[in-house]
């Protein structure tokens, strides 16, 4: 394995584990006996997470990003 690949794997695994843990912790906020929230709060959280994952996908797929930035007639 190349040094760049090893670095990517190490960072990707750690950061993905951290992100998944953070998402699980957000899910723990669903306990209505411990927290007070409404549907709007939940929708805002889910929207923010979806936007972040969409941005992540866009960054890993540079061809789609360059296609959308290019104007053609």
**What's the pLDDT at 68?**
59
What is the mean predicted confidence (pLDDT) over 25-33? 98
- Top-confidence residue, 29 or 70: 29
What predicted TM-score, i.e. pTM, was given to this entire model? 0.78
Q: Smallest Cα–Cα separation from 42: which of 55, 58, 26?
A: 26
What is the mean predicted confidence (pLDDT) over 10-23? 97
What are the boundaries of each domain within the chain? 1-31, 37-73
What is the mean predicted confidence (pLDDT) over 32-51? 97
Report d(CA 22, CA 26) in Å as an integer.
6
Q: Above pLDDT 70, what percent of the chain?
A: 90
**What's the pLDDT at 71?**
74
């Amino acid at each position: 394995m190349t040094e760049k690949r090893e670095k990517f794997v190490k960072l990707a695994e750690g950061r993905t584990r951290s992100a998944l843990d953070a998402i699980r912790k957000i899910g723990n906020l669903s306990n209505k006996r411990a927290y007070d929230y409404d549907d709007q709060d939940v929708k805002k959280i889910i929207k923010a997470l979806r936007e972040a994952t969409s941005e992540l996908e866009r960054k890993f797929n540079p061809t789609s990003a360059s296609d959308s930035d290019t104007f053609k007639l």
